[in-house]
Amino acid sequence: MYQRQFQRIQPQTTAHLAQTMTLLSMNVDELNQEINRALAENPALVMKEERRCPGCGKLLSGNQICPVCSKPKSAQSDEAIVFLSPRSEFSYAKSAPDEDIYMDEVDNTDEVSLAEFILRQIAYDLENQDRIVAAYILNQVDEDGFLNENLAEIANYYHLPLSRIENVKRMIQHAEPVGVGSATPEEALMVQLEVINESNPVPPYYFDIIRMGFGVLSKKQFAQIAKALKISNTEAEKAVDFISKNLYPYPARAHWGNFRLPSEEKGQVYSHPDVIINHMNNDPTLPLVVEIITPTYGTLDINPLYKQAIKQSAEETKEDLKTDYEKANLLIKCIQQRNNTMQRLMEKIVHIQRAFIDQGEKFLEPITRAELSKELEVHESTISRAVSNKSVQLPSGQIIPMDLFFDKSLGIRSVLKEIIESENKDQPLSDTEIVDQLKSQGYPLARRTVAKYRSMEGILPAHLRKQERKGK
C-alpha cells in the first residue's frame, strides 16, 4: 500500500530527493515560511483542522496519539519520549486569501502586522505628514527589524527636513519592540540600552561595549573588552551578561513569539528553538520529553475536492491540475520524511548525550556526525543538514545550537574552566601547568591547544589573571 503511493512519485525521484534535502536543512521558522508559500500558491494543498489530545490539550500531528498521556506513570527515568509537537504560534495563511481571521491570533509574524503594530503606538503623536513617513519607513524594515534606507533620501523625497525624518525614526525605534528601524544590530542594542537606562541607570561603559561591536559581544572576549575600556574582567563579564540577557540584537525576531530565551552561553539569540527538551512535569526523575517543533498547526493534506476536480475536468486543464496535485503530494511526503529523520536523530542524540542534558557541558560526549550516520543508516550529509542551522532548548531553559552536540572540545573546555576557577589566584597556573593537570584527568592535549581553548573561553593568560586579582 505504501509501495504504491511511493511509486506514484517515482518519476520525480530526483525532485523528491532535492526537496527532502532542502526541507531537512531548514529550521522551524524557514519551514513555516515554506509551508505558507506552498499553501498560498498551490490550491491542491490544504491545512486540515487541528487535533488536540483530549487529556492534556496538546496539539497532535497526523494520526498520532498523545505520547505524553499514553505513557504509563511508571516509566523509567532514563527513557525519553521523542515526538512531533505542532505549534499554534505559527500562523499560516488560510487557502482563501480574502480571510483575515488569522490576523487576530496572538502573534503577528508578518512584516505588515509588525508595521501596523508599531504605527498604532506612535500614530497619535505624529502629524499627518510624519505618519506617512513613518508608514514608509516601517514598510522598508526587513524581517529582522532593520532599516537599510538612507534617511537623507527619504527627506529629499518627501521634501522634509532631515531632522524631522530622524525624529520619526527615533520614535519608531523607541516603540515596542524597541530597536526596530535601526540600521545595524549595534544601533538596535544602543537604543534598547538607552531605554533601560532611563528607568534603571547602567554604568556608562555598557554603551562603550556595544560601540565595540557585535562581534566582540557574541564571542565573549572579556579580556579584550576589559583591556580596551580599562575595567576589570569581572565587570566586563557582568556587562556582557547583562547585555545578552536583556537586549536583543534582532528586535523584530525577539518580538516574534513569547518564549524568547537568550542563550546565555553564546550570547546569541534564537527566536524559536527547533527542539525542546524537558523532563516530564519538570521532575528530573521522570523521563525526558523531547518535542520536535513543527510549524504545521493542523495537518497538511490534499484538498479532497481537488481529486474530484481532476476527474471531472476537461482534458487540457487536467494536466495542470495534476501537476499541482503531485506537487502537493510531494511536499507532504517530504515533510513526513523530514519529521521522521528528525525524530530518529533526536532519539539517538538524547540517548547518547543524556549526561550532558542532565548534568551540563562537562559530560558532553564527543561524537562525530559520521558515527551517528552509520548507526542511523543514513548518509553523513543527512545528519549535517538536519543538525545545522537548528537550535535546541534544554531543560535548563538554555537554548543551544544543535551543532553543539557534536562539539569535540566543549567537554574539555569546561574541565579547563573548572581547573582555572579552582586554582590558587595568587599563583595562576601557566598553560604548561594546565596541560599537566588535564593530562592527569585523562585529557591529553598540546600546550598550544590549551592556549586556544583558554582564549575561546575568554580567560586571560596567567600573568594577567594575577593583575586582575590585584585590581579588585
Partner DNA sequence: CTATGGCACGGATT
Partner DNA sequence: AATCCGTGCCATAG
Binding site for DNA (CB under 7 A): 368-370, 380-381, 384, 388, 406-409, 430-432, 444-449, 451-452, 454-455, 460-463
Angle between helical axes of 315-352 and 304-312 (0-180°, round to 10) = 150
The nearer residue to DNA, 301 or 407, going by C-beta atoms, is 407
Determine the angle formed by the axes of helices 233-246 and 222-229, rounding to 10 degrees. 110
Question: C-alpha cell of 36?
Answer: 505558507
Q: How many CA atoms lie within 13 A of 22 on its CB side?
A: 10
Q: How far is the CB of 236 from DNA (least distance, A)?
A: 15
In whole angstroms, the minimum distance from the beta carbon of 211 to DNA comes to: 21
Closer of 340 and 432 to DNA (Cβ)? 432
Whether a cis peptide bond, with omega within 30° of 0, leads into 177 is yes
> How many C-beta neighbours within 10 Å does residue 42 have?
18
Residue at 19: amino acid letter: Q
The CA distance from 74 to 55, in Å, is 18
Q: Which is nearer to DNA, 347 or 407 (CB)?
A: 407
- Taking the complex as a whole, the smallest distance from the CB of residue 424 to DNA amounts, in Å, to 14
Nearer to DNA, 245 or 374 (CB): 374
In the complex, least distance from residue 45 CB atom to DNA, rounded to whole angstroms: 32
Are 214 and 148 spatial neighbours (Cβ–Cβ below 8 Å)?
no
Q: Which is nearer to DNA, 187 or 274 (CB)?
A: 274
Residue closer to DNA by CB (options 289, 459) is: 459
> Phi first, then psi: what are they for 212, rounded to 5°?
-65, -20
Q: Which is nearer to DNA, 4 or 448 (CB)?
A: 448
Minimum distance, C-beta of residue 248 to DNA, in the bound complex (Å): 25
Q: Which of 343, 376, 349, 380 is nearest to 365 (CA)?
A: 349
CA distance linking residue 4 with residue 152, whole number of Å: 62
Min dist CB 325 to DNA, Å, is 36
* Nearest residue to 278 via CA among 403, 392, 402: 392
63, three cell numbers: 494520526
Output the smallest distance, CB 423 to DNA, in A: 12
| Strand 399-401 relative to strand 59-60, pairing | unpaired
Radius of gyration of the chain (CA): 26
